[in-house]
Every structure is written in structure tokens, then in C-alpha cells.
A and B are shown apart, each in its own frame.
Chain A
């Protein structure tokens, strides 16, 4: 890599432990290792002056809900940037579920030229990309095939392969975040006589360890998930993953039938391929 990268996101791993932040951290570490990393900055701290000072860098833009409209405009006008998309920020309501076949009426589309002027818009799976492509019809939309995990995290999944404490219950994520649909999932389990327990932890490794003790994970969602990470995490642990297939993007990937060590190895290989692709896309 020749040009240095500024990594832009609403939040980073040290500020929140969401899927996007965990995923982004793997990419940041990769840029650091390749000595391509300049710095990371929260979107709300970006000013037009900061942009003007750093036009010689490549901007790697992850979640940008807190990026000011003028910064979006100026980046579009002057900067070389890649958008690393974790959801659907081309839609004013940020969720295509409201529209038949996920085809969004033109009047609901926003940020059109921000996406158009990007070197690449990187989606996280084939289905995620298709939704972007069907709506924006741009030539710069590409995809990787999965979220990413660090080697440390993958080692954890390896260690937890044969947990002796298998509970004959399904886990349901206990979260106050309405997007996580805890209440709806409970109702779903009760209506379908699925034995379940609520699980939670603020520590990622602890959460995964807890999850490994269950027969499977019940996951309900109300938007087409670009991956989601927990689907692959359940698969890497070798436990069942039950959800609405039409809303789970990775369920449409070729590798989704894998589980346990085979899935871990596949995720590792996909990560290496994805990072090489990202590096190439940044420098094109």
C-alpha cells in the first residue's frame, strides 16, 4: 500500500462492542500491520478543515450516521474514499424491509452522490450487495462474503468446540436495543414451544462462552441483515442457528452449511481474501 488510510466511523471497538465495531477493528489492525494506517477518527469530530488537510489520504468510511452533511458533500467533491457499508445508509429510514422486494422508492433514497463518487462501496455479502445494486444501480458496488474475526477470537471458537455443558435449550439474546428484537423472539419461542433462556454479557468472550453452552440460538430480525455476525458465531460454535432465512444474508452464501472447525477455517480464509481485496480496492 502506498497511500495512508484514515479510518472513519461513528464508534470504534473501544467505544462500543457492536458487530460493526468488532468487524472494523479487524480491518484497522490489518491496515496497521501493513503500515498503511494514518489514524482513526469518529465521524462527529470530522470538520471540513480536517478533510481539506487530509486530501492526500484514502478515506475508509465505515458507519457514517454522525458525519455532517457538509463533510459528506466535501468528501464527495474532493476526497478519495471507500465506503465500508454495514447497513443501508442510502435509505432515509435505513431499512429496506418496508419496501416490496427491498426495492426502495426513489424519493426515499439519500446520499446518492456520496455512494456514486466512492472508489468502491463494499458490502458484506452477496445479498447485501444485491440490495444496493438493485436500488442504486452503480458500477462501484462490490462485496466480501462475511464479517471478520481476529485470530484471538477464532482461537476462542476453536477452544469452545466441544463444550461439556451443553444445555438442551436455545439461547435468546437479552438486549434492551429494540433492533435486537428480544421481546419478539421470546414470543416466537413461546408460540412455537421452543425451550429458551435469555443470555447476555457486555464482554464479548464471555458472551461467546455462554452461547457455546446452548443447543442453538434463536434470532429474529426486522431487517435484511448484511451478515449477521451471530449467525456465523453460532455456526463456528457448532450450534444451531434458527432465524428467518430470507433476512439473513450469509444464509445465502455457499459456505453457510459448514460448522465447527470447518466454518472457522473458512472464516479465516475468507478474512484473508477479503483483506487483500480491500487493500486492492483502496489503491485502485
Chain B
């Protein structure tokens, strides 16, 4: 997954598990930038009676670095609260929820938004409503209306939405985690001599009918850039979730609830998709989640010599001979380092740069001066669309294919023009596109589709 259940510790803590981060110039409001951080992975829509909610004991942050040092210059901080109207019923709702202030809704959430910059904290809003989960036609008869009511406008022309959305990230988990047996190429998978597939097969989107919880912001871009007459238009974006340092179970004899104490400690982090998932080794994944991007230098060897590149050649013998030679040479994958850790300097791709400096830091880098594409290509920069990943990330970008192909050597010529990628490097994928997502993406904020309802997606 992009970052769903990507590390042992955080896989036990869905409320704090960041799954995806998106950052893009808003196509319908190009003077703004949309930032989305998703949490609570793989939500089965009918998962009641206690439906999914943000952690009221979790601190959620979206960070922006606007000077390339890998540190947050601006942080938007979200804190959630749970409210129970009637603690004597077991029900989430006692009738249809037809508006966001419906008294039929028994357990609901509100949240605050703070902006932290230059040591100053500004309360942008408090008491904002989270919409309910999409339960079904009786409980949430018009979810789209409820979601619309939950889009709030903050001072400074900022829009915010926090709540359930349809999962927009598509990936064939069943094949990828079955020893990398990509269905379109399964007849070539020969690592273990198990030639049990004779022909290719289409990919299967494992996230169809699953939901996530999104924290989405649309901010006038000028509010995200450094001050000055000519600020760098490229920003670095990542999200973190933090929990308090200690927890005492049975700390409250009246409610049975646990009690947390101590300062907030980062337990989850996400910038570029798939970094902790497939680049960082098992023994370092939990550690990586606790670190800030500015400390990523200590992980650089996993970017310079990606394990998945070696594995591709191992699983598909003879399919990636040039990649095999590259891996064997031990040359550092400076292309991967540039894409994920520094941004791509100018002069490498015509008309494009999202370089933020020499600091190695995993952040989603968005050059905000590049306008949204009128004809987006889901392969982003690889597909000639400079407004897509790895220039930020749009909700529909095919990041699995982009990163698979990059790791297969397709982007190595960016730093060594003499290298000739294998033919398979430009074809390898998991057989999915944005069309594999059943819930349509929206053309307007918050862009991710209406969440799947529990009634119509019972399992």
C-alpha cells in the first residue's frame, strides 16, 4: 500500500496510521493548493456499530517546508473531539441523519484547526463538524449533502474538510504481496520455479469499496510560500500523527477509558508514497515513522540501493538484464534520491524543477508555479504531465506504476544518459489505472470520491 499498515507498530494503530498524502495546485482554483492527508486505512464500510472516527487522542499535522531544510515552516494541526448525545443507547444514530446537526446522530466528532508558523500559533477554527460515516440509505440518505455541509471556510480563504472519503489510491495488493506476482506479468514470475501461470491477467484493485478518513485543506498558495519578493515556488509536504507518551489503562473507573499523559510523540509519518512501505527495511520502519524528514540522511542507503530493484530482477529472471547489471554495479541510484529526497533540479527535464536544495528529506515536493494540466496523465512527469507525481501528487496519479518503473530503472537515464533501460521497465505495472476506482473522483474539493456506504458494500 502507499503507506497503509506499512510498519509493524503503526499497523496496530489505525487511527494514527497515515495512508496517503496529496498535494496539488487545485485544478478548479489554481491560485490555491490542496493538501490532503489520509488516515485509518482499509475501512470496510459496514464496520459498525462503532464506525470509524479520527483519534481524539491523536494529534494530526500537515507540515509544509518552504525553504528546503526538511523542517516544518508551517504546520496545520488538527485535534478531534468526540461527543455523545445519549450514552445510554448503543446506537451510532437513532434515526436518519439528514443534516450535519441532526439530533438523530448520537456520536459525532468536532475538530479544531491551528496554524503554526514562526513560533506563533493561530487558532483558525474550533468546533468544526466532521460528517458521519456513510452508513446506508436509511441512516445517511444523502451523504453528499452531509459532506457538503462539512466543508468549512476558514479565515484567509481556506477550505477544510475532515471526514470519511472513498479510497482513491488503487493497488493490486493481492498480487504484490504474493511474492511480487504482478498479474499482467505473472507468467514471467519464475523465482521459485513455480510456473503456475501461463498467461497474463488483469489487475484487481484491492481498495475498491474501502474508505479512508481524509483531512483536506485548500489554501491560497501565497500563504504556503516563504515570504520575500521571489520565494521558491516549490514546497515540501508531509503529514505526521502523534500520541502522548504514556497510557494508563483503566485510568478512569467511571468510563473505563484509558488516560494518556506526557508530551506528544510522533508515531506516523508520510511524504512520498511507498517509501516506508518498500524502501525502508523491516527493522527500521518503526524508527522511520518517528523521525522528521530532516533526519532522512541516515536512511539514504535504502534509496541509493533500493531493495525492490534487486528483487525485481530476482523475481523475474531475464526480464530486467540492464537493471540487474546496474544493481550489480552498486552505483547509487541518484535518480531515486532526486525524485524522493531532494527534488529534481532544473536542466534535467525540460521546463521542470521541484528541487529544494541539498538536504535529503522525504517530502512530497510540489512546484506550485506549474499550472494544473488540462489533459492529466496518471503517470505524471513520466507521462509528460509536469503537474503530476512526483511534482506533488494528485488523487488519481498512478504512483504504484510510476515508482515501480522508476525502481526498474526507467528514470536512471536522468542522471546517466548512457544507461539504456530494459524494455520491461516502461511496461511493468500492477495492471490498474484510475478507472479501476469505483467511486468517481470529484472535480472539486475535496476531490476524493463519496465514501462507499455500508449498506451497499456489506463486505
Same assembly:
no
